């Protein structure tokens, strides 16, 4: 492709100097031989880079025609010599750029289309027959419990209820007594300010998150309902407040007030209250609800029927076997178990059992056993009334065990010998 030397006529000074300069290039032979060897891959260059090379080859082919077609007396002019020299350097430059162009072309080249994966061969089953997919068979979806009246009532509250006296007030809002106009039944209206009650839960059967207390009470009113847990009839969602319509047992007071007014309970009455309270807390766990704030102020007592109602689920959670973060405990301090202060997690059932032990202690001793964190961590009540039976003391000590794993279950509490004592 490229000659090893360039013959220059005697009359051309510039051509002679150029030829001498070309002859002095030491790599010319090897370089040109490499270009000749690589000519097969010039097609890999882009089309715009191939065109100049083809035109140079054409001009070279014309220049390299046999001498028989030319006149013997024709002498190449200086312009032709310069064109050949220029063509040589262009070919050399193209050859130098060619590996890099080819490399870049390889990078940007579009990948070959992937062939679709062949269908896997069916695997014979235990019977030796091939398993074929059944296109007509549909997989049944798991059944989701349907919570009736999950959505709030959209009718006007004032057309359905007539509010009356104020029952109580707290950081959450207030509770009012009201009369249902349709049948004259007395109900309790718990009104909560939205800006102060932002906790919400999403429960199965509802497409959106609901306020925590609403969600948990909806889960608890699935039949069969428990007579020892407060029932929510309906709820209203307004721009600034949420109103819960709750049952209102009459006449009633809180368990703390009942204990104080009675100067402590006799063991037979405490035994009846304890059975109801254990049944109510057990019902919550069975429904997947963890109350998380069982104490004497969250229990209503019907003073005529001596029946209890567990109320106020605003601090509750959905039941979680993995436990709960101790740093996020929001229950009452006097009923808080020691693991909240000493361990990273606390669990639903042991926490409820601890609260039941504190409540039973208050029933027979009027005051709670612990007043600060140090006493809670020691988990050893020191003050007892002289008329408390040994069986009652033993049950309380078991419920107030410092180790959560050693506390009894709800079933074990009801099977304790104290419940077998005569009324």
Output the CA–CA distances (angstroms, integers) from residue 291 to 189, 214, 329, in the order listed: 20, 13, 12
| 190 appears as a binding residue in the annotation | yes
Q: Does residue 261 carry a catalytic annotation?
A: no
Say which residue the tokens 């020299």 belong to.
85
Query: Rounded CA gap, 61 and 170, in Å?
Result: 104
299 three-state secondary structure: strand
Region of 182 (left: φ > 0; alpha: ψ -120 to 50; beta: rest) is alpha
Output the CA–CA distances (angstroms, integers) from residue 135 to 119, 131, 139, 205, in the order listed: 16, 12, 11, 29
How would you class 302 by CB atoms within 10 Å of its CB: exposed for 0-12, middle for 13-18, buried for 19 or more?
A: middle
Q: What is the largest CA-CA distance in the chain?
A: 145
CB 294 within 8 A of CB 242: no
Query: Rounded CA gap, 333 and 330, in Å?
Result: 8
Q: Rounded to 5 degrees, what angle do the CA atoms 52, 58, 59 make?
A: 90
CB 154 within 8 A of CB 234: no
DSSP 256: H
Residues forming a β-bridge with 191:
174, 243
CB 356 within 8 A of CB 368: no
The residue annotated as part of the active site, out of 119, 136, 293, 320, is 293
Question: What is the torsional sign of CA 389, 276, 243, 189?
Answer: negative
How would you class 270 by CB atoms within 10 Å of its CB: exposed for 0-12, middle for 13-18, buried for 19 or more?
A: buried
DSSP 122: P
Cis peptide leading into residue 224 (ω within 30°): yes
- Known binding site for ATP: residues? 190
Which positions are catalytic? Answer: 293
């Amino acid at each position: 492709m490229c000659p090893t030397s360039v013959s220059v006529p005697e009359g051309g000074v510039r051509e002679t100097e150029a030829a001498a300069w070309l002859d002095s290039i030491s790599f010319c032979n090897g370089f040109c031989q490499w270009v000749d060897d690589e000519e097969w891959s010039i097609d890999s260059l882009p089309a715009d880079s191939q065109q100049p090379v083809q035109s140079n080859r054409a001009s070279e082919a014309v220049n390299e025609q046999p001498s028989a077609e030319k006149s013997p007396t024709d002498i190449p002019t200086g312009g032709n010599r310069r064109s050949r020299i220029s063509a040589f350097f262009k070919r050399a430059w193209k050859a130098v750029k060619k590996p890099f162009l080819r490399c870049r072309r390889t990078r940007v080249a579009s990948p070959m289309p992937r062939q679709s994966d062949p269908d896997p061969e069916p695997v014979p089953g235990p019977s030796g027959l091939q398993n074929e997919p059944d296109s007509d068979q549909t997989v049944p979806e798991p059944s989701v419990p349907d919570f009736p009246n999950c959505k709030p009532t959209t009718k006007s509250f004032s057309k359905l209820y007539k509010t009356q006296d104020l029952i109580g007030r707290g950081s959450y809002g207030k509770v009012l007594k009201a009369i249902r106009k349709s049948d004259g039944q007395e109900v309790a209206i718990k009104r909560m300010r939205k800006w102060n009650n932002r906790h919400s839960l999403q429960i199965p059967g509802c497409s959106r998150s609901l306020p925590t207390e609403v969600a948990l009470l909806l889960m608890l009113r699935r039949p069969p309902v428990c007579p020892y847990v407060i029932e929510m009839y309906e709820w209203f969602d307004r721009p600034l407040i949420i109103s819960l319509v709750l049952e209102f047992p009459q006449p009633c007071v809180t368990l703390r007030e009942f204990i104080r007014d009675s100067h402590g309970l006799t063991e037979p009455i405490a035994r009846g209250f304890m059975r109801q309270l254990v049944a109510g807390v057990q019902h919550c766990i069975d429904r997947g609800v963890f109350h998380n704030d069982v104490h004497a102020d969250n229990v209503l007592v019907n003073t005529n029927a001596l029946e209890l109602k567990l109320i106020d689920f605003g601090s509750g959670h959905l039941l979680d076997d993995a436990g709960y973060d101790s740093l996020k405990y929001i229950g009452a301090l006097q009923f808080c178990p020691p693991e909240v202060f000493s361990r990273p997690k606390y669990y639903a059932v042991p926490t409820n059992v601890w609260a039941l032990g504190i409540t039973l202690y208050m029933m027979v001793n009027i005051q709670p056993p612990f007043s600060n964190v140090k006493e809670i961590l020691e988990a050893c009540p020191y003050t007892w009334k002289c008329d408390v039976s040994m069986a009652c003391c033993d049950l309380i000590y078991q419920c107030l065990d410092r180790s959560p794993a050693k506390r009894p279950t709800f079933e074990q509490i009801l099977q304790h010998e104290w419940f077998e004592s005569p009324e």
